[in-house]
Structure 1
């Protein structure tokens, strides 16, 4: 359901906007009145932004590697150049790359998982703060995961645990500046096959077994015993980002069919 003009004249940055949850969030924000900046390191985001622009919506696409501080600084600079302010940041970039018991991870794989699922959120929060403080307010939504209590993806779980801690502490620190910070812990979510996979290498037979164990454990951990839909996550993220949630900050909200992570 689209709420007409719920984000009218707000400037919102959405990371990982080329596909999946990020794409759904960006589309809804734009349709609900936001000046929306769609960020991804894949050029598929250009097509998403182009389709929204054809509808007469105010959008900007930015290509950037958000695993680097310079990448996020570029996003902020281009957003301010185009729209002069930043009201909302949706930190959506992240996602487990490998699925296997922890003892099978290599050193570089652990580093890559942390770089993928923690650093973009750290850089994003840091980069937008000056603009939000100058504007005397803002909202940061960090997309986390119930995988903080999961199997076969321990580095990813550690990264999302860091996102939850960042959310709580940053909200505490920035409340005097009228900046809200909320995390949405996504549960198992059905989505189309990724256009750009997180892992370019095909899973081995053993890795497919380990991945299926994640799926089975995630489904079993929910009260409803099934995966949710992208729309379920988008609805929660947009609610948390809206003025309807103006008295909610510093918490992680699970959207996971009852799995608290």
Structure 2
């Protein structure tokens, strides 16, 4: 049973990207229960259903965060709707394909970077002026321990970029009362995606490569299992909260002992 902390985010405005499903959805629902006013951002229109589930303190915004225009519009909407932004949870990302590096085509490499790095860069850049206006705040990036893993090198490179962003931006913004932190989830059991990660579908070879990657993830974890959604949400919200007020620039592995 997941413990909730009523009132933990009272008075806080939280923007959650990639909030229509998976970890982002669960973060948004729990944050709303814990007192946050939340803006759920996604390019899938069913994010509206999640916002309705989250209750009166929630709103939604449909945007393509692989574009800077989408990110800037989302943060501006949060400011206009709630009067400011205190916390940004950057959750957009996910490997599109899994295959040996030499099997990736150049445009597929570009697509992985665009999916799993650029939304975090763009949303963070768009959020900083709003946090400065608020007098401080927190950015939590959802990275991955797959910076060390097989069959997803472009995705791994994107997540390595998020780790670097977390560490370097934390140095820049600490004196401005803005914390920048990250979690690095390992393999996580999640409900089936309503929108597939790879709209083109997987070939038989890709399915085999994916199975190899799944085995590697499980074998690398000391606990020899995937985590649950709840086991990912709790560390994200801890880092977003005032309980973590002396933590910045850190990337917290949440991967059953696999440090990535």
Whether TM exceeds 0.5 here: the answer is yes
CA distance in 1, matches of 2:26, 2:75: 21
Q: CA deviation at 1:76?
A: 1.1
2:124 aligned with 1:122, yes or no?
Answer: no
CA distance in 1, matches of 2:191, 2:117: 24
The 10-residue stretch of structure 1 (157-166 or 202-211) with the greater mean CA deviation from structure 2: 202-211
Q: Secondary structure at the match of 1:217?
A: helix
Please give the per-residue CA displacement for 1:112-168, whole angstroms capped at 9, x wherever unaligned: 000000000000110011111121110000000000000000000000000000000
In 1, are the aligned partners of 2:29 and 2:53 still within 8 Å (CA)? no
Q: CA deviation at 1:200?
A: 1.1
- Among 51, 54, 57, the alignment partner of 2:53 is 51
CA distance in 2, matches of 1:202, 1:166: 31
Q: Secondary structure at the match of 1:228?
A: coil
CA-based RMSD of the aligned residues comes to 0.6
The within-5 A match list for 1:82-97 is: 82-97=81-96
CA distance in 1, matches of 2:176, 2:142: 22
* Length-normalised TM-score, structure 2: 0.98
In 1, are the aligned partners of 2:37 and 2:57 still within 8 Å (CA)? yes
Q: List 4+ stretches of structure 1 deviating above 2 A.
A: none
2:162 aligned with 1:160, yes or no?
Answer: no
Please give the per-residue CA displacement for 1:150-207, whole angstroms capped at 9, x wherever unaligned: 0000000000000000000000000010000001000000011101111112211111
* Counterpart position of 2:106: 107
Q: Secondary structure at the match of 2:143?
A: strand
Please give the per-residue CA displacement for 1:30-56, whole angstroms capped at 9, x wherever unaligned: 110000000000011011111222xxx
CA distance in 2, matches of 1:109, 1:202: 14
CA distance in 2, matches of 1:149, 1:119: 20
* Counterpart position of 1:14: 16
CA distance in 2, matches of 1:32, 1:50: 16
Q: CA deviation at 1:84?
A: 1.0
CA distance in 2, matches of 1:260, 1:45: 32
CA distance in 1, matches of 2:188, 2:15: 22
Name structure 2 gaps, 5 residues minimum.
Answer: none
* Length-normalised TM-score, structure 1: 0.98
The within-5 A match list for 1:1-261 is: 1-53=3-55, 57-261=56-260
Please give the per-residue CA displacement for 1:46-97, whole angstroms capped at 9, x wherever unaligned: 11111222xxx31110000000000011101111111111000000000000
In 1, are the aligned partners of 2:13 and 2:86 still within 8 Å (CA)? yes
Q: Secondary structure at the match of 2:142?
A: strand
Q: Secondary structure at the match of 1:190?
A: coil
Q: CA deviation at 1:2?
A: 1.1
Please give the per-residue CA displacement for 1:210-244, whole angstroms capped at 9, x wherever unaligned: 00011000000000111010000000000000001
In 1, are the aligned partners of 2:101 and 2:153 still within 8 Å (CA)? yes
Instruction: Report how many aligned residue pairs link the two structures.
Output: 258
